[in-house]
Structure 1
């Protein structure tokens, strides 16, 4: 009889499950990268919320190394084109 710990960490045999887990990991890396901030240069909370809301589906298609440039462009665009949205978040 196999122990519970060996079952928990055994290799997943279904390829669809491996792909789904990989997609979840990629999505999580994108969310973490878009919210990454310098220690003494934090983003306002309204900007963080807006960035996550408008880029939720786009993060999977962008390389983690390109997310900082995407974030700057998207934040500038939101402030320029939708200032009322940024002001209404908080």
Structure 2
């Protein structure tokens, strides 16, 4: 299958919701054989300006799909939809 879908979690240090979101994302991606990227917004001014109040943010293939608390069931559905559309 390969890495056909890009899954990113936008985070910042010291954010407990971010830690939870990264773990939920890691588990969901592992089920699909995908990896995810963790992007610290504090290192990117544009990301900080866009997402400072919504962290953590889930992006799939560059599109914001969720923020704050990630629901594992919804996340799996979003990944499956992205994989289906990538075929």
Fold agreement, TM-score > 0.5: no
TM-score range, shorter chain: under 0.3
Higher relative contact order (CA 8 A, sep 6+): 2
Q: Of Structure 1 and Structure 2, which has the larger fraction of its residues in strand? A: 2
TM-score (ref. length: structure 1): 0.26
Q: Of Structure 1 and Structure 2, which has the larger fraction of its residues in helix? A: 1
